[in-house]
């Protein structure tokens, strides 16, 4: 690399130490690239540290998002090997659990909605089975007797995102990468039409052949990125509750339990996560009475033993949402500028496939086939087609 004398220089500088930035950096180091992660707070300080860590492509499937579903399914298939390697390299747990998921109806109206969803899942060839209320309760005796039925998706999984982020940071450093905490990126530096480095929030210049923007909801706000090329992400607030089984209590459920209004992740060590609201409130992260109340009510109506849990904390995170809810992964215009953001509700799930794509791109190769539909330039193309409404 060229550059001013005494200036540190890397093959890849990653903006943001969340699950996406760290996964990309770790894989980049493994592929032989010298890599620096600049994280303005601490690893996982954004959405990654608040997420529930559901790896649940089947029960997240939405009408009109079939392409995203294919990517999510591929990502879920990568997780067991990714997890095994991550634990081996870091020596730390991730609490990956292939628990399966049960989407429970709380009443007749829910059942009608879930049957429509189930028909869609079957149409797509997904593994999802309709169960009556009693069948649901045989699998999960903690469910309310009022549950009239639900969908069993046996291969959904979950992981502890905070633990995963710690493991990624450890694996990155062990494999030779550098993570700097408390120092963010103030500016991306370009020379003509190529990236040459960044200036940090401490005024330090760092040279880079490639810069990856993985700053979650803040990815669109970096200085130095040419107008019109900033990724179109917005913060989508999610409130999530942490609870814990009390001494002598029993595990709430073996599987992920979801309803149309909430999800409940019961971990083997007794911790429980109930999430999550979806709010368009800008960068607000206030915990609201309404958010806490609705989530507790939604969980309690299908799992009444929620009332017995110890309430530990309520937190709010900001998911990076893109206009079509799908990730934005790829080259962003100037040579060497890469983007990996917009993962919305699926950042933890999509970390392995995103890292794979970024490593290929940083090496000058094409992104893997399954990621090509999620390139940053797709919005500009659609906006032209629609006459500017987006």
Partner 1 sequence: MADGSYRIADREFRSRLIIGTGGFRSLETMAAAVEASGAEMATLALRRVDPASRGSIVDVLERTGVKLLPNTAGCFTARDAVQTARLAREAFETDWVKLEVIGDDKTLLPEPVELLDAAETLVSEGFVVLPYTSDDPILARRLEDAGCAAVMPLGSPIGSGMGINNPYNLRLIVEQARVPVILDAGVGTASDAALALEAGCDAVLLASAVSRAEDPVGMARAMRLAVEAGRLAYESGRIPRRLYAEASTPMEGVPELT
Cβ count within 10 A of residue 146: 13
The answer to whether residue 3 forms part of the interface with partner 1 (CB under 8 A) is no
- Considering the complex, what minimum distance in angstroms separates the CB of residue 324 from partner 1? 4
- Considering the complex, what minimum distance in angstroms separates the CB of residue 120 from partner 1? 8
The answer to whether residue 228 forms part of the interface with partner 1 (CB under 8 A) is no
CA distances from 265 to 8, 212, 244, 274, 381 (A): 43, 32, 11, 7, 39
Q: Which stretch binds partner 1 (CB under 8 A): 137-145, 177-185, 300-308, 322-330?
A: 322-330
Comparison of 8 and 65: residue with beta carbon closer to partner 1: 65
Contact 177, 43 (CB under 8 A): no
Comparison of 64 and 248: residue with beta carbon closer to partner 1: 64
CA distances from 326 to 21, 22, 34, 51, 71 (A): 17, 20, 29, 17, 10
Q: What is the largest CA-CA distance in the chain?
A: 72
Q: Which stretch binds partner 1 (CB under 8 A): 98-106, 142-150, 179-187, 318-326?
A: 318-326
Estimate to the nearest angstrom the gap between the alpha carbon of 62 and the chain centroid: 17
CA atoms of 57 and 156, how far apart (whole Å): 7
Using CB under 8 A, pick the residue from 49, 133, 197, 232 that binds partner 1.
232
CA atoms of 243 and 249, how far apart (whole Å): 13
- Residues of span 330-389 touching partner 1 by CB under 8 A: 382, 386, 388-389
The answer to whether residue 64 forms part of the interface with partner 1 (CB under 8 A) is yes
Contact 225, 193 (CB under 8 A): no
- Residues of span 194-223 touching partner 1 by CB under 8 A: 220
- Considering the complex, what minimum distance in angstroms separates the CB of residue 3 from partner 1? 33
The answer to whether residue 281 forms part of the interface with partner 1 (CB under 8 A) is yes
Using CB under 8 A, pick the residue from 214, 324, 337, 358 that binds partner 1.
324
Q: How many residues bind partner 1 (CB under 8 A)?
A: 25
Of 321, 322, 328, 320, the residue nearest 357 (C-alpha): 328
CA atoms of 131 and 140, how far apart (whole Å): 12
- Considering the complex, what minimum distance in angstroms separates the CB of residue 281 from partner 1? 5
Q: Which stretch binds partner 1 (CB under 8 A): 6-14, 304-312, 316-324, 364-372?
A: 316-324
CA atoms of 263 and 182, how far apart (whole Å): 33
CA atoms of 201 and 217, how far apart (whole Å): 18
Comparison of 177 and 320: residue with beta carbon closer to partner 1: 320
Using CB under 8 A, pick the residue from 216, 321, 347, 352 that binds partner 1.
321
What does DSSP assign to residue 223? B
CB-side exposure of 223: number of CA atoms within 13 Å? 8
The answer to whether residue 283 forms part of the interface with partner 1 (CB under 8 A) is yes
CA atoms of 159 and 268, how far apart (whole Å): 11
- Residues of span 90-119 touching partner 1 by CB under 8 A: none
Contact 100, 57 (CB under 8 A): no
Using CB under 8 A, pick the residue from 224, 325, 360, 373 that binds partner 1.
325
Using CB under 8 A, pick the residue from 63, 192, 289, 369 that binds partner 1.
63
The answer to whether residue 323 forms part of the interface with partner 1 (CB under 8 A) is yes
The answer to whether residue 284 forms part of the interface with partner 1 (CB under 8 A) is yes
CA angle 375, 378, 384 (to 5 degrees): 160
- Considering the complex, what minimum distance in angstroms separates the CB of residue 244 from partner 1? 29
* Contact set with partner 1 (CB under 8 A): 62-65, 120, 220, 232-235, 279-284, 321, 323-325, 382, 386, 388-390
């Amino acid at each position: 690399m060229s550059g001013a004398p005494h200036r540190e220089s890397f093959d890849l500088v990653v903006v943001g130490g969340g699950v996406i930035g760290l996964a990309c950096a770790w894989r980049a180091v493994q592929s032989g690239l010298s890599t620096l992660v600049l994280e303005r707070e601490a690893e996982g300080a954004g959405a990654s540290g608040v997420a529930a860590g559901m790896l649940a492509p089947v029960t997240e499937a939405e009408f009109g998002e079939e392409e995203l579903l294919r990517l999510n399914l591929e990502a879920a298939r990568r997780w067991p090997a990714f997890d095994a390697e991550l634990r081996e390299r870091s020596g730390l747990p991730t609490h990956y659990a292939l628990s399966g998921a049960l989407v429970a109806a709380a009443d007749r109206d829910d059942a009608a909605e879930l049957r429509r969803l189930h028909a869609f899942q079957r149409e797509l060839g997904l593994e999802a089975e309709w169960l009556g209320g009693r069948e649901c309760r045989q699998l999960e005796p903690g469910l309310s007797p009022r549950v009239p039925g639900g969908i069993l998706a046996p291969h959904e999984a979950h992981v502890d995102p905070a633990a995963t982020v710690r493991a990624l940071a450890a694996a990155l450093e062990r494999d030779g990468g550098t993570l700097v905490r408390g120092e963010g990126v103030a500016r991306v530096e370009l020379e003509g039409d190529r990236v040459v480095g960044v200036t940090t929030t401490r005024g330090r210049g760092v040279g880079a052949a490639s810069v990856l923007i993985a700053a979650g909801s803040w990815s669109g706000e970096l200085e130095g990125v040419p107008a019109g090329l900033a990724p179109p992400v917005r913060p989508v607030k999610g409130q999530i509750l942490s609870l814990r089984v009390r001494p002598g209590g029993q595990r709430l459920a073996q599987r992920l339990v979801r309803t149309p209004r909430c999800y409940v992740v019961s971990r083997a060590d007794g911790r429980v996560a109930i999430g999550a609201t979806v709010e368009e409130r800008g960068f607000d992260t206030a915990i609201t009475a309404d958010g806490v109340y609705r989530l507790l009510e939604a969980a309690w109506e299908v799992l009444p033993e929620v009332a017995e849990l110890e309430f530990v904390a309520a937190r709010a995170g900001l998911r990076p949402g893109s206009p079509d809810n799908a990730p934005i992964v790829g080259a962003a215009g100037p040579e060497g500028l890469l983007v990996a953001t917009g993962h919305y509700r699926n950042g933890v799930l999509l970390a392995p496939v995103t890292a794979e794509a970024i490593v290929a791109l940083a090496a000058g190769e094409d992104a893997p086939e399954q990621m090509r539909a999620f390139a940053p330039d797709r919005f500009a193309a659609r906006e032209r087609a629609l006459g500017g409404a987006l």
